Amino acid sequence: MLSAALLLLRSAAAAPPAPADTSRVRQAHRRVVFQFDQRYSLLQREMVGINGLKLGVEWRGRLRTGVGVYFLSSAINTRAVPPSFVPAGSDDKIRFRYVTLYGEYVLLGTPRWEVSTPVQAGLGRYYVRYQYPDGTVYRTARENIWLIEPTIGGHMRVFRWVGLGAGAGYRQALLTEDRLEDDISGVIFYGRVKLFLGDLYKVVRGRERLFSQRGLHRRDYRPRE
């Protein structure tokens, strides 16, 4: 009996360790994240670009919070009723820009890749630009607009300090004219370049190779505590 017990103990000690759970990202510290966020929306049956920049803080690889700023890269037509003094045949275009607060929760991932659910809410300003048939230009007063944008997306790190990602979601305009809400609200598609500034600082300070894959290999993955 004793011999059998010793044999079982030796077998257990010799057995390979259980594989690490790579479904979650584990980071012990906070780090700063900077993003170029290029969004596209199908508005008025046209693909419209909305350029953005985001700066935030990542907490233990699981939650990110920060601020962003966005602006419409090209004007779009509006279905809002023009003022009575605007002559027929005038060209109308809407422009807007907005700032946001965002939160992003990582659902699944490793140091190399992840899937997350970013949600951002913002306040912006918009106006409509009318160009009369004779070339005269009239701009309406700037008005406030509220927006909320739930999305789902992901990214993959090319190197330790930079990653490429994409995602999709929806933009909903709030608290403005119904027709303008329809003009601005719509499905979102986006691409992003993420700079992990904290990791970039560590690479530069430690005089590591800039394009190193250190920390991104499967053998480097560690389970979340």
Reading the chain (225 residues) residue by residue, the pLDDT tens digits are 545 444 444 544 444 444 444 434 455 567 888 888 888 887 777 788 888 999 999 888 789 999 999 988 777 777 777 888 888 888 888 888 899 999 999 998 887 889 999 999 999 988 888 999 988 899 988 888 899 999 999 999 888 888 999 999 999 988 676 667 777 888 999 888 888 887 888 888 877 888 877 777 666 655 544
How far is Cα 37 from Cα 53, in angstroms, rounded to an integer? 6
How deeply is 4 buried, as exposed, middle or buried, from its count of CB atoms within 10 A (0-12, 13-18, 19+)? exposed
CATH level 3 topology of 23-73+98-121+147-220: Porin (2.40.160)
How far is Cα 154 from Cα 167, in angstroms, rounded to an integer? 6
Cα-Cα-Cα-Cα dihedral of 52, 192, 56, 113, to 10°?
A: 170
Strands 137-139 and 46-59: unpaired
> DSSP label at 73?
S
3-class secondary structure, 181: helix
Q: Are 135 and 156 in contact (CB under 8 A)?
A: no
Handedness of CA 82, 86, 90, 93 (dihedral sign): negative
How far is Cα 87 from Cα 131, in angstroms, rounded to an integer? 9
How far is Cα 27 from Cα 202, in angstroms, rounded to an integer? 14
Q: Are 95 and 77 in contact (CB under 8 A)?
A: no
Which is nearest to 152 in space by CA: 175, 133, 169?
169
